[in-house]
């Protein structure tokens, strides 16, 4: 049955960022060198976190991987194929939920599914139900968006991003505006989903602790121009608790490194 295939077909992708550079021209203040020949790899099913101070190009890199922006030079390969535009194989979660208020919860999750060929209306509904259940919102399928709390909105956004069954999930500070308790629950959920749905995840954040909690690897960026500074491997059991002491030692290490790159800038 095709719906089983659809739900069980979980194939993460491999990403390769190859010497990507990007500059922005911002009116009077001139030029921002957002990314300078950045190269990195994400393994099949990897969970990579990008951290760094604002302006270090981490969100720009995410947008380039998403295909929402084009690099000035260099390229990004997903499973060996160069990325030229957004695609259903790479879904994005933004800092804002970016849900459509004219649709209810179900309608939002169905939006991407309707654009995916090969499923009929009933199958789409079943797939949407599956992901709503996965994020724990099946009881809210007919709720309007503004009735939901911030955390629930991000859960809907997560279900919407997962629904077309992408190989890559790109997350741009999706939990930044949520309260601490909601965030902790979502850390558990996202680790769980990563393990069961087998996605390759690139997660951008400025919260070092969050990065250490979620990522298998954490890459530290420095700004002006945006470059990779250091890479950290996080060898901790999952599911990880953001409050654990071992995790704290990792995040202290990353934080120390981060300060090292930021302080000279400030002193200038």
Rule CB under 8 A: choose which of 101, 118, 180, 266 binds another protein.
Answer: 101
Q: Which is nearer to another protein, 57 or 225 (CB)?
A: 57
Rule CB under 8 A: choose which of 146, 180, 181, 266 binds another protein.
Answer: 146
User: Dihedral sign, CA of 210, 212, 215, 219?
Assistant: positive
Tell me the sheet residues that pair with 227: 222
At 146 the three-state DSSP class reads helix
Q: How far is the CB of 71 from another protein (least distance, A)?
A: 17
Q: Is residue 87 a contact residue for another protein (CB under 8 A)?
A: yes
Q: How far is the CB of 251 from another protein (least distance, A)?
A: 30
C-alpha span between 15 and 82 (Å, rounded):
10
* Residues listed for the chain: 268
Phi, psi angle pair for 202, to nearest 5° = -115, 125
Residue pair 126/53 in contact (Cβ under 8 Å)? The answer is no
Q: Which of residues 156-175 bind another protein (CB under 8 A)?
A: 160, 164
Q: What are the Cα distances from residue 210, in Å, to 51, 60, 117, 213, 251?
A: 10, 20, 36, 5, 8
Tell me the sheet residues that pair with 32: 24
> Which x/- pattern over 106-145 shows residues binding another protein (rule: CB under 8 A)?
-----xx--xx---------------------------xx
Total residues in contact with another protein, by rule CB under 8 A: 25
User: Dihedral sign, CA of 81, 87, 92, 94?
Assistant: positive
Q: How far is the CB of 186 from another protein (least distance, A)?
A: 19
Q: How far is the CB of 86 from another protein (least distance, A)?
A: 5
Q: How far is the CB of 171 from another protein (least distance, A)?
A: 12
Q: Is residue 23 a contact residue for another protein (CB under 8 A)?
A: no
C-alpha 221 chain-centroid distance: 16
> Which x/- pattern over 50-79 shows residues binding another protein (rule: CB under 8 A)?
----------------xxx-----------
Which residues contact another protein (rule: CB under 8 A)?
66-68, 86-88, 90-92, 94, 96, 98, 100-102, 111-112, 115-116, 144-147, 160, 164
């Amino acid at each position: 049955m095709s719906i089983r295939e659809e739900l069980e077909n979980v194939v993460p992708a491999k990403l390769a960022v190859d010497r990507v550079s990007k500059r922005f021209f911002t009116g009077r203040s001139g030029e921002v060198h957002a990314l300078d020949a950045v190269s990195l790899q994400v393994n099949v099913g990897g969970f990579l976190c990008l951290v760094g101070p604002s302006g270090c190009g981490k969100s720009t890199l995410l947008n380039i991987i998403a295909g929402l922006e084009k690099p000035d030079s260099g390229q990004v390969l997903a499973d060996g194929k160069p990325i030229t535009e957004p695609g259903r194989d790479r879904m994005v979660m933004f800092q804002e939920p970016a849900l459509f208020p004219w649709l209810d919860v179900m309608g939002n999750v169905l939006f991407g599914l309707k654009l995916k060929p090969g499923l009929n209306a009933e199958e789409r509904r079943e797939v949407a139900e599956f992901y709503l259940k996965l994020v724990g919102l099946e009881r809210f399928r007919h709720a309007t968006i503004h009735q939901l709390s911030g955390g629930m909105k991000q859960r809907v956004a997560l279900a919407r991003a997962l629904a077309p069954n992408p190989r890559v999930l790109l997350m741009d500070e999706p939990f930044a505006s949520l309260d601490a308790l909601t965030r902790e629950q979502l850390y558990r959920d996202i680790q769980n989903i990563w393990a069961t749905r087998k996605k390759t995840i690139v997660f951008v954040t400025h919260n070092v602790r969050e990065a250490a909690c979620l990522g298998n690897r954490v890459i530290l960026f420095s700004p002006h121009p945006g470059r990779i500074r250091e890479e950290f491997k996080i060898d901790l059991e999952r599911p990880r608790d953001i409050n654990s002491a071992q995790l704290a030692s990792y995040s202290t290490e990353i934080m120390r490194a981060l300060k090292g790159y930021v302080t000279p800038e400030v002193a200038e």
